[in-house]
């Protein structure tokens, strides 16, 4: 496997558990392999460009096998994936913050409701403590607070 006189391992690399020998083994068994990889590109300032690549095993008329690779640059796609991941992370953080605010608001509302209930009870008690009794003077009524 060569490209302009260079071995494929000089311009394509893989991340994770898979390496070129694993890919070659799969190609020999199934005749193809498709997946993510990185291309080293000397024509620009990037060290590695993310690509999706397909290797296919083909045979010429003389019975000799060749492996050809076709690939396309997925840099923009990967950038968009990263933006989506970041937006998702920000959404999760915002959701957590909103839940915390809702919990705080519920706590404030519960305390306020308790205070209002206590004020209503105190007002009712104070009203109940006022006794309306007949006034000995002029046949009227007087209000006594006990």
Q: Are residues 28 and 53 in the same domain?
A: yes
Mean pLDDT of the chain: 80
Please check whether residues 55 and 7 belong to one and the same domain: yes
Point out the domain boundary residue: 31, 58, 73: 73
Q: How many helices (H) and strands (E) does the chain have?
A: 2, 8
Tell me the pLDDT tens digit for each residue of 27-50.
Answer: 989 999 998 888 876 665 667 788
The phi, psi pair for 37, rounded to 5°, reads -155, -175
Give ∠ CA 5-9-13 in degrees, rounded to 5. 140
Q: Which tokens sit at 110?
A: 């519960």
Residue 137 in any domain: the answer is no
Backbone φ and ψ of 12, nearest 5°? -130, 135
Determine the straight-line distance between the first and last CA of the chain, rounded to whole angstroms: 105
**Domain of residue 6, residue span:** 2-73
Does one domain contain both 88 and 66?
A: no
Same domain, 86 and 69: no
Q: 53 and 13 in one domain?
A: yes
pLDDT value of residue 93: 94
Q: Domain boundary residue among 73, 103, 134?
A: 73
What percentage of residues in the chain have a pLDDT greater than 70? 77
Instruction: State the CB neighbour count (10 A cutoff) for residue 23.
Output: 21
Same-domain check for residues 8 and 68: yes
Q: Domain boundary at 50, 73, 96, which?
A: 73
- Residues 52, 91: one domain? no
Within a domain: 136: no
Count up the domains in the chain and report the number.
2
pLDDT band of residue 127 (cuts 50, 70, 90) is: confident
Distance CA 19, CA 24 (A): 9
């Amino acid at each position: 496997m060569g490209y302009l006189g260079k071995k494929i391992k000089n311009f394509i690399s893989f991340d994770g558990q898979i390496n070129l020998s694993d890919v070659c083994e799969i190609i020999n068994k199934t005749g193809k392999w498709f997946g993510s990889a990185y291309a080293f590109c000397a024509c620009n300032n990037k060290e590695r460009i993310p690509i999706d690549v397909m290797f296919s095993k083909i045979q010429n008329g003389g019975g000799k096998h060749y492996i050809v690779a076709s690939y396309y640059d997925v840099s923009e796609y990967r950038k968009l994936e990263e933006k989506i991941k970041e937006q998702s992370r920000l959404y999760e953080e915002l959701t957590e913050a909103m839940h915390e605010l809702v919990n705080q608001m519920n706590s404030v509302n519960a305390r306020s409701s308790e205070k209002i209930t206590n004020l209503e009870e105190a007002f009712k008690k104070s009203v109940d403590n006022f006794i309306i009794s007949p006034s000995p003077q002029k046949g009227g009524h007087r209000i006594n607070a006990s």
